[in-house]
Each structure stands twice: as C-alpha cells, then as structure tokens.
Amino acid sequence: MLPLAGQDTIAETAIEIEDIQIPEEGTSEHNTVPFSLVEKPPIFPGCDEMLKTDLKTCFQEKVQKHIAKHLTSSKKDAKNGIRGKVYGVFVVDIDGKIVDSKYYGSTPLLEKEVLRVLALLPQMKPGKQRGKAVRVPFSIPININ
C-alpha cells in the first residue's frame, strides 16, 4: 500500500484464529450469556405463563417490584438525608439460584441494604441458550430518594 502525500503507511496486521481466546468449556465464563443476548431469560416466579417475547420484561418488572417491596431502609434513610444511587448486580446460575451479588453505590449503608435485598430474591428457572442452562448476569439501578 502506498501512502498518500504527507501520510505514513499503516501496517496491516492479520488476526489469526489462534489469537482469539475462547473460554474453556465447563468454565463459568463459557456458560455465561448477558441478559440482553440470552435466547430464553431466567424465569422469575409468576412469569411462567408469559409469551417468550414478554419474559425479559416480566423478569425486569418482577425484580423491580421485589426491590421496592423489600428495600426498607430507603424511607427511613431518606428522612435522614441519605440519598443516592446504587447498582445491584447478580447472576442467575444454571440451577436458577442467585449468586455473585454485588453492588456499586454511593454510601456503605445503601450498599449493605441492596445486598440484603438481592439475597432475598427467589430461586428462578435458569436462562437458556441453545437449549442449555446458562449463567445470566443482571444489573439494575436503584435510586434512593
């Protein structure tokens, strides 16, 4: 390739198939599919009868309702001037159990409360990709006003 006047040449680098790293089968990374991409999302109790196209919406709504119902400190803390946003993150594993709950937030008190509420999530039917159960991570912003 010849450079244009005043430009340097750009080296072309080929990526070989051997350069692409694919997680080993049997590892949790291999069996993890993002919520937005999973073919069949985890099924929250009560969403069993939904059409396939409504399962993700039902899952999201049920998680939001669960958090609103169980988030007890938000009302008390708001009166004391504790406000903020916390991101709750969890994984529905291949058995439908909630694992790897984490939080990212503004105050330790709110973070602790979100972790408590995520631990109360019920067991679900696992998400599936190509007919096999997979781990499905999910994150949700939680505003404490």
Neighbours of 60 (CB within 10 A): 15
Dihedral sign from CA coordinates of 95, 96, 98, 99: positive
Q: Where are the domains of the chain?
A: 33-144
Rounded to 10 degrees, what is the CA torsion of 33, 39, 42, 44? 150
* Angle ∠(137,142,144) on CA atoms, nearest 5: 160
**pLDDT number for residue 23:** 46
Instruction: Report the greatest alpha carbon distance in the chain.
Output: 69
Measured CA to CA in angstroms, residue 64 lies from 117, 123, 137 at distances of: 11, 16, 15
**DSSP 8-state code for residue 34:** -
Query: For domain 33-144, which CATH number applies: 3.30.160, 3.30.1150, 3.40.30, 1.10.10?
Result: 3.30.1150
* Angle ∠(132,18,31) on CA atoms, nearest 5: 15
Q: Which of the residues in the chain have pLDDT under 50?
A: 1, 9-11, 15, 17-24, 27
48 three-class SS: coil
pLDDT tens track for 104-136: 876 777 778 888 889 999 999 999 999 999 999
**pLDDT number for residue 12:** 55
